[in-house]
Structure 1
Amino acid sequence: MHPDIQKNLKVKPAHIISFIVFLLVSMSTLTAQVYAADAVWPSKTAYKYANVNGKKIFYREAGIQHKQTIVLLHGYPSSSHSYRELIPLLSGRYHVIAPDYLGSGYSERPNPETQKYTFELLAQYVEGLLTTLKVKRYSLYIQDFGAPVGFRMLLNNPNKLDALIVQNGNAYLEGLTLPRQAFFKAANEDSSKAQQDKIYSFTSKQAIINNQYLRDVQSNPEVMSPDSWTHDLHFLQTKADRVIQVQLLQDYYNNLLDYPKWQAYLRKYQPPTLIVWGKNDPAFIAEGAKAYLKDIPNAELHLLDSGHFSVEEKPVEIAKYIVDFMNKLAQ
């Protein structure tokens, strides 16, 4: 500062330095406060049971209940455990519920000799859980088995949906190769012992690890947590546990027959839809993701460099797509 100006203003250099330091500290504090206010911290996940139609249904819940609810529906042979990494990424912004189906995970598992397991049955119990929790509207994340469960819920209650998030969940024949379609048809119609044994073998330890979780990540197996199959196999220890999943695999062909109903729902209601599909999935192929655009042309489609269990491989990427998608809906 020029000496004459300094003399006229009667400001000492030490005062100027102190003032600059004050400004810097104040700006730093303000910036920290803004970041703290904007930060989205995950909510602690709670692990709960609810009585639904006389059965104990387990579910994971996180986030503030008055906010938008996202219901995460798991696939085969898993449970809500498959969403353990995704839930914290969403729970700071949304109310998140991830149930274990009747017969899966920590939920009650009635004996399959007296209770036949179908996707309609699973849908009834998930819908019953949401009714018990007084959740009136929700967005659905559907993957694998979650698609037939979710679409049955939508057909039963077509006006409850806010948005649909599809991750390797089929609603079109294009998503299944001809051999895969033939397998489900044979599983449903062929009651021979040889066919039963073949389906039962799909629930074995080797099949779960190698043909499910590690199948699509052979070039990078480290991305797949062993917790995933260890958890699933814990709930497939008995013959009854495995028969439950066999019955669902046998019922799966009925989903293919119901695809036209699901597609009609999409055409009629045009739900806001996000599709995040692992393109390396040889079971539920990427053509199944693209097929959705025939009925909901405004759907947002992203093909990920991942496989059937994309939420195990890329939970952060999927969460980013979900947050961006949900933000657009809120505008």
Structure 2
Amino acid sequence: MADQVDGSKSSSTNQVLLAVRLGWLTVETFGRLRRYARSGYHLPELQGDASQRFDFSDRSLSEYDELFFAVDQLHRTAARLKTELPPCPLPAQTGLAQLLAGGIDLNRCQGELDEWSRQVWTTLSTEDELTGRGFTYGGSLADTYWHADVLGPDRFADLLRPPRLEYLAARFDSIANHLPEHVALVLHHTLYKFRDEGRLEKLDADGKKHALQRLESQAKVWHDLLFGSRSADSYLLATDRRWISLGALGVTLALALAVVFGVWLTALTMSSVGQAVTAGMAGLPTEIGQASFSEWLDWQKWSTLLATLSSMVVLFTGLVTNVSGWIIAIYQRLKNWLKLLFIYHRTSRI
């Protein structure tokens, strides 16, 4: 019975995440179609050149390649959803090549995709409201860059308005359990970092262009996290992981020692031995002038101090033994907290 519940939850999670991806791909695909048309790129006649590298091996993909992959991924993602969706107006593979060869009417294509995405949203929402919302959230997140790419450096600030990005961050928080680990937290952090509170209008043309490039780089991180190309942990360097472990260990030991010292000091001041040692070794404020050198050499006081220190070691050992579970839990919490801070740092492009 438990396995069935877990399987149902996993299936539901998969559908919501797929809907987020489909929403993103709908926006990205048309964004790449606009970019392809704007670039004036045309497929060359493939004559072949044995002296050149393969395109995929040196990552020199053309606008056509990027568009082809996006459309193919759009079709595959739509097919993986359990809900039967209307056919996508953009053809795949051979049909896409023929469409591009004949010229693109962007206005007509945008209208068809807009109508299709509206039908998809209605269908998904009717089947499961959460899945429909995931589709919307994915498209809205993709719009943050892909529509900014259309507006250009001078006008894209409107997409980075604090209310919009804060609302979008809250929406992804609400479906955090349906996303890969840490993804909702990273989205929340980076969306808040990109909020524009009047900074962009103060930048010159080069500064705005650079800001748009950083947004593009951030969108690639979002895409990789949502589509599983990379996990949040994969952004951590080996040195980051060492600092995380050492930092968590150091803070845990410091806290443990502070607790032991506090317990020991309390017990010491409440005991007659503690009062004698305190008065004899440190001296009370009213008796400091009366202490003599011979008193500091009194072996009885030193033996008492050593006995007290020994009791402190015993106390520390006992505490560690009895509360080792708590210490381990504190260490793990600190380690997870530090790891999240490093992930925030490595996944932020601003």
- Name the TM-score, length of structure 1 as normaliser: 0.23
- Name the TM-score, length of structure 2 as normaliser: 0.22
Q: Please tell me whether Structure 1 or Structure 2 has the larger radius of gyration of its CA atoms.
A: 2
